[in-house]
Structure formats: structure tokens, C-alpha cells
Amino acid sequence: MDRAELFQRIQQKRSFLCVGLDPDPDRIPASFDGDVLAFNRSIIDATREYAVAYKPNTAFYEALGLDGMRILHATIDYIGRDHLIIADAKRGDIGNTSGYYARFAFETLGADAITVAPYMGEDSVRPFLSYPGKWAIVLAVTSNEGGDDFQHTVQQDTGTALYDKVMRRVMEWGSPDQLMFVCGATRAETFSTLRSIAPDHFFLVPGIGAQGGDLQAVCRFGMNAQCGLLVNSSRGILYAQDPARAARELQQEMQSALENYLPEVSQ
């Protein structure tokens, strides 16, 4: 799914919701009797109408062994092609190995996008950018506390935070049609800076719901003329008493944000 198509979906659905498919066998309702695929299908059925993207985090499937791979494939098949599918795997290795991670995400799984850790530099990211129509979503400012350890440290040469340096460098490797950045909703205070660094890129924004991120501030400071945001919620929807309702409420908040900040496209 390319950028124009993604924006079109956002306009049609008046939503920029990404539902995180992170199934925790210990939290799946007893009525599913441990059937992770049936649980995922029920979540997809409940949220399809409100979401523009789904983000299965591969950790939750890898932990289930062979069966997990089968469930991951079947989940992606069940989503179909009307939603952007993000394989959240946070990969990045020497070029040869990254090439195989890219093959896994884009060819084997058939995902549209994969999350990528930029720590190993240009040759570790480039293989993810060699698939036309596919996306690399590079970690910029993450939602966790440990993000302070490196990402926000000020660099002697540039006088800016490391995430700033990383984003500007990564933007030299690909266009806003193939690159997005991960920007955590718990770091809402950074969003105006993030937007000034990357005015045209989409941001994948995890951290609302269970991690307590600020959706309103993210929208206020993070939107661009094409919305430019995909806001993820995983546990906040998966384990809500009524997942459809939780997704609908988020969609409604997003709809008001679109009306406030992008009135010309939300008619």
C-alpha cells in the first residue's frame, strides 16, 4: 500500500488507528480456550471497520514456536489487503542478513512494512528499502523509559539529540514513500521537533492506552497535510471488555482530531 492509498484510507475511514496484534496467551479470554488464531480473528472482526492498519508484533508469535508461525501467517491472510500490515520485528543486521529479514517480512509474510532498528547504520537499513511499495519504519524516539539512555543524549558534533541525528541521516537513504519513523506517544513533548525534522513522513505512534501516551498532543503537534500519523494501540484494545467499542472510541477521537487540524480533508 503506497502513501497516496494510505492517505485515501485515512480519509475514507476518518481514522488513523493501527491495531496491535500482540496476543498474550495468559490474557486471552477463557472462552477462546487458548486458541490464539480464533482470538486474533475476533479482534480483527471487531476492529476492521475502525482501523487502517494492523501491527502483529512477531515476538508474540515467535514465542509460540512452529504453531506461532502458522498463526502469524493465518492472521495476516485473515486481515486481507484492505489494511496496511506492519510486521513489528525491529530488525537490522549486516546487509546480507537484513536482506533475509526483508525477505521474511515482505515475501514470506506478505507484510507492507517492517519496523527497523537503525543502530547498525546504512547498510543494515538499505535492504528494507529495496522493495517497491514496501515500507521500513525506523525507530526514532521510542516510548519506553530506556529511550533516554541513548536517543535523547546530546551529540557533541551536532549539538542535537541522537534521535535528531539518526532521523536526518536515515532520511538521506530513502523517501517519505518508503520510510516512516517510530515516535512514541509517551514522548509527546518531542512531536513538534520530530515534525520539523521530518515534515512529510508518516510516524508510527505506539504508546497510547496501556503506556499512558497523550493522543491529543500527538495529533496537535504531529499531524501533517496527509495526516502523517498511524497511532497504535495493542493491549488497550485486545484486552478491553469490548474491543470493538475501544477501537470505535479511539476512531472517534481521531475523527475529531482530523476535523480540528485537517478540516479541508475531513469533509
Judged by beta carbon, residue 11 or residue 47, the one nearer ligand OMP is 47
Q: Pick from 1, 232, 250, 258 the residue near ligand OMP by CB under 6 A.
A: 232
Cα end-to-end distance, the chain, whole Å: 23
**Contact set for ligand OMP, span 31-70 (CB under 6 A):** 57
Give the active site residue among 55, 90, 134, 165. Answer: 90
Q: How many CB atoms lie within 10 A of CB 12?
A: 9
Q: Pick from 214, 235, 261, 266 the residue near ligand OMP by CB under 6 A.
A: 235
Task: Phi first, then psi: give them for residue 230, nearest 5 degrees.
Answer: -125, 110
Q: How many CB atoms lie within 10 A of CB 27?
A: 11
Decide if residue 164 touches ligand OMP (CB under 6 A): no
**Contact set for ligand OMP, span 179-218 (CB under 6 A):** 182, 184, 206-207, 209-211
Q: Pick from 75, 115, 190, 226 the residue near ligand OMP by CB under 6 A.
A: 115
| Closest to 53 in 3D by CA, of 206, 194, 185, 174 | 206
Instruction: Check if 134 is active-site.
Output: no
Q: Pick from 20, 118, 127, 222 the residue near ligand OMP by CB under 6 A.
A: 20
CA 124/CA 93 separation, integer angstroms: 5
Hey, which residues does 181 pair with through a beta bridge? 138, 203
Contact flags string 144-163 toward ligand OMP, x per CB under 6 A? x-------------------
Q: Pick from 236, 251, 254, 258 the residue near ligand OMP by CB under 6 A.
A: 236
CA 125/CA 166 separation, integer angstroms: 12
Return the DSSP state at 108.
I
Count residues binding ligand OMP (CB under 6 A). Answer: 20
